[in-house]
Structure 1
Amino acid sequence: MSGEIIKGKLNEAKGSVKQAVGKATDNRKLEAEGTVDKAKGKAQQVAGHLKEAAREVRH
């Protein structure tokens, strides 16, 4: 598993926590930050999977 995928999973997890805490404390800003972090994490994971697929095609 590439570093990009791992970073993506961590960002997604961080976003989930921020989102949950934001909802629990009625902090809309924190909840929005969590949503952004989750989206960033998912995008990083997709990029990592694409890089891995490209490496496999070259070999």
Structure 2
Amino acid sequence: MLALARRNAANKGLKPPQVAFVKAVLTEDLPIQSNSIDCVLSNCAINLLPTEGKRS
């Protein structure tokens, strides 16, 4: 899925820093610097975390 998302973004002329795709385990810290992103999109994943995993 990441490869497809990256191809679709490239076809639209989008590339870092406008868009980036990161594979992560949601129960661990994201591999992204604090205060470096504006939006996180996740399809049917965050809602599956236990309450403790949703705390920011």
Q: TM-score if structure 1 supplies the norm length?
A: 0.30
Name the one with the larger helix percent.
1
| TM-score normalized with structure 2 length | 0.31
Answer with 1 or 2: which has the greater Rg.
1
Highest RCO, 1 vs 2 (Cα 8 Å, sep ≥ 6): 1
